[in-house]
């Protein structure tokens, strides 16, 4: 919708109402002439049209050349018409599927990926008196507390171990947490009363109270090779000259660092930093308790469906699996929908498109949110979901650090953790740490059983069985097997250059190509793969080709300054032009027509260049010198 509507919105702006947009040029829905609702299929489905076609069993034709100049008088070839027709057929079938899922009511189709889950959860929770009482008890009325919660909120921990970065590592194992965020909602206790000021000079019992803490640390130093504190969360004046920064995270700071954190973050920092001292500026506390039956039962139900239907064969069961997976992943997203986001307003005046944010104050937005009878989830639950998840991940990392046998000049262990990303740990010598993961899983089982007992559920409710009858406990670490050779570790070779930047090979012969079935669907991946923010997965093949042509490995291609040309990336740069034009245009067949637009979009291929932050490069160079010596 963001793309298509940019062309036609200026023509209907006077009759357009109820715009819901995430940002400028990103409408999710609007109504035309009180008669036609427009909704975005991309935002709702969460996948591109090609993938959507695969999911509903239709497929999608490839091969339309968007480089050719066309206009409304340009005839389409049979193949081009087939391509365009399939776009319509895929969307038509998806809409019909959505109508079926919504009891044959087209008006009930949700606006967003998360909206499907929100509607189901809302109906369950709002009908549950205990849940609604809990929601009202911990509803945020104080803007200062809302500000503090926003400042304390962090996502998952994604970072590499600086001592293992920039080097091609052999035999790297990977462990993943199963449905990490939903597991936190089921097993942990959350703030369930209003936050109130606490006047003590130490952190209250973290088992009983959720604490929202404004704290200042003096002369912080990391005690491991892992840097945890994000510089973006610092609320005091930051002097780069006083800091050692590891790819956006604080390794050391000479001076004062002020942060808003939760009690879980406080415990994490105790594990990973030393400091001269700290002072507590402010603490707000809330009593902890399990989430409501209605919410937790919904999470467990969705996890059970997802587990049972993972290897579904029939189209109906595949649909149910996809829905359950979508919904369980959306449970967390519902909780951290920020209530203080203004609406974006669209206007077309004086022959130009303008977007502007609503003028409501934060206090007005908070009041409006609290007065909205459809709301049922407090923002702070989402804040603590990620805090608990970081604690689970990083407490495991800390135990691995404690088993290290070598240390740097500052006494920091050279541990085997290579890379972390929210719910996964990649490490060397994985079998050496099996007991660490077993210990975590045993503790997870203990917490889950306590939760099941509280909710008066069977003890194994959190561990439904898959289609082969095997129990799949929620929230445990599971080993990620090698996709090409199960006898090998997860990755034969692995190299990282920071968050969301790593490459790997499953087997020794990194140039092994993927395999496809007779329908062109990939049944076995290529040996070499990438996860590089801003670069599509298929660029791995470009890196392999470049390596072969230069008699090097793709791991050597993956370096600071790596450049992938516009022709190679497959990426496009999209520019929204908010004014119009009227021009004579000649297409690639020589046909001329007068083309008029009130607003339009320019698309061109774009290159990719990977640059590493200067602070990170400095640490890598220190590492290289140390390795050389």
Q: So what's the pLDDT on residue 628?
A: 58
- DSSP 8-state class, residue 422: S
What would the two tokens of residue 497 be? 């250059």
Task: Answer yes or no: are the C-beta atoms of 501 and 469 closer than 8 Å.
Answer: no
- DSSP 8-state class, residue 456: T
Task: Answer yes or no: are the C-beta atoms of 91 and 42 closer than 8 Å.
Answer: no
Q: Which of 212, 141, 115, 149 is nearest to 365 (CA)?
A: 141
Q: So what's the pLDDT on residue 339?
A: 85
Q: How far apart, in whole angstroms, are the C-alpha atoms of residue 534 and residue 500?
A: 9
Q: So what's the pLDDT on residue 629?
A: 55
Q: How far apart, in whole angstroms, are the C-alpha atoms of residue 170 and residue 164?
A: 11
Concatenate the DSSP letters of all residues of 495-549 into one string. EE-STTEEEEESSS-TTPPPEE-TTS-EEE--SEEEEETTB-TTHHHHHHHHHHH
Q: So what's the pLDDT on residue 317?
A: 80
Compute the C-alpha angle 510/512/515, nearest 5°: 145
Q: How far apart, in whole angstroms, are the C-alpha atoms of residue 177 and residue 422?
A: 9
- Give the CA distances from residue 475 to residues 300, 305, 448, 608, in Å, rounded to whole numbers and listed in that order: 11, 16, 9, 37
Rg (CA), the chain: 27
User: Is residue 97 left, alpha or beta, with left meaning phi > 0 and alpha meaning psi from -120 to 50?
Assistant: alpha
pTM: 0.94
Stretches in the chain below the pLDDT threshold 70: 625-626, 628-629
Q: So what's the pLDDT on residue 219?
A: 98
Compute the C-alpha angle 496/384/279, nearest 5°: 90
What would the two tokens of residue 283 be? 């603490």
What would the two tokens of residue 542 be? 């470009």
């Amino acid at each position: 919708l963001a793309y298509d509507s940019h062309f036609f919105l200026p023509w209907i702006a006077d009759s357009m109402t109820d715009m819901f947009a995430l940002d400028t040029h990103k409408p999710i829905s609007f109504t035309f002439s009180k008669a036609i609702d427009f909704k975005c299929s991309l935002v709702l489905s969460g996948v591109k049209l090609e993938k959507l076609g695969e999911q509903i069993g239709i497929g999608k034709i490839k091969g339309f050349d968007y480089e050719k100049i066309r206009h409304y008088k340009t005839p389409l070839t049979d193949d081009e018409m087939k391509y365009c027709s399939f776009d319509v057929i895929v969307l038509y079938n998806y809409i019909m599927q959505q109508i079926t899922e919504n009891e044959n009511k087209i008006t009930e189709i949700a606006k967003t990926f998360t909206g499907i889950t929100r509607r189901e959860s809302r109906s369950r929770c709002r009908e549950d008196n205990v849940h609604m009482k809990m929601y009202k008890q911990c509803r945020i009325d104080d803007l200062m507390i809302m500000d503090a919660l926003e400042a304390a909120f962090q996502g998952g921990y994604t970072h590499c171990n600086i001592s293992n970065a920039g080097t091609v590592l052999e035999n790297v194992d990977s462990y993943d947490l199963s449905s990490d965020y939903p597991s936190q909602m089921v097993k942990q206790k959350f703030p369930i009363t209003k936050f109130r000021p606490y006047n003590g000079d130490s952190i209250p019992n973290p088992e009983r109270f959720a604490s929202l803490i404004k704290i200042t640390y003096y002369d912080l130093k990391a005690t491991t090779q892992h840097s945890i504190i994000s510089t973006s969360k610092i609320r005091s004046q930051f002097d780069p000259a006083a800091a050692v920064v590891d790819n956006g995270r604080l390794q050391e700071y000479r001076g004062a660092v002020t942060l808003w954190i939760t009690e879980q973050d406080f415990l994490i920092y105790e594990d990973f930093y030393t400091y001269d001292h700290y002072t507590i500026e402010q603490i707000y506390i809330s009593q902890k308790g399990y989430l409501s039956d209605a919410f937790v039962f919904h999470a467990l139900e969705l996890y059970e469906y997802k587990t049972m239907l993972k290897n579904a064969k029939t189209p109906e069961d595949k649909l149910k699996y996809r829905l359950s997976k979508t919904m369980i992943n959306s449970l967390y997203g519902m909780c951290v929908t920020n209530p203080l986001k203004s609406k974006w307003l669209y206007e077309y005046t004086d022959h130009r498109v303008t977007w502007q944010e609503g003028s409501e104050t934060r206090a007005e937005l908070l009041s409006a949110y609290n007065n909205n009878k459809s709301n049922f989830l407090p923002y702070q639950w989402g804040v603590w979901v990620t805090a608990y998840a970081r604690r689970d991940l990083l407490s495991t990392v800390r135990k691995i650090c404690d088993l290290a046998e070598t240390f740097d000049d500052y006494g920091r262990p050279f541990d085997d953790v290579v890379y972390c990303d929210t719910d996964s740990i990649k490490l060397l010598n994985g079998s050496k740490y099996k007991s660490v993961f077993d210990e975590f899983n045993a503790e997870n089982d203990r917490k889950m059983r306590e939760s099941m007992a509280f909710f008066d559920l069977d003890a194994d409710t959190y561990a439904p069985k898959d289609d082969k009858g095997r129990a799949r406990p929620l929230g445990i670490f599971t080993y990620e097997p090698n996709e090409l050779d199960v006898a090998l570790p997860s990755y034969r070779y692995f190299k990282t250059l920071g968050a969301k930047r790593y490459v790997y090979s499953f087997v020794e012969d990194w140039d092994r190509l993927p395999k496809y079935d007779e329908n062109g669907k990939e049944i076995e991946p290529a040996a070499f793969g990438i996860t590089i923010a801003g670069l599509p997965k298929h660029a791995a093949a470009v890196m392999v080709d470049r390596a072969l042509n230069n008699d090097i490995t793709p791991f050597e291609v993956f370096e600071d300054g790596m450049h992938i040309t516009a022709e190679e990336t497959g990426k496009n740069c999209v520019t929204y032009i908010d004014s119009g034009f009227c021009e004579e245009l000649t297409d690639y067949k020589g046909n001329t027509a007068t083309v008029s637009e009130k607003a339009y979009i320019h698309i061109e291929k774009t290159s990719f260049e990977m640059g590493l932050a200067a602070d990170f490069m400095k640490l890598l160079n220190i590492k290289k010198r140390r390795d050389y010596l």
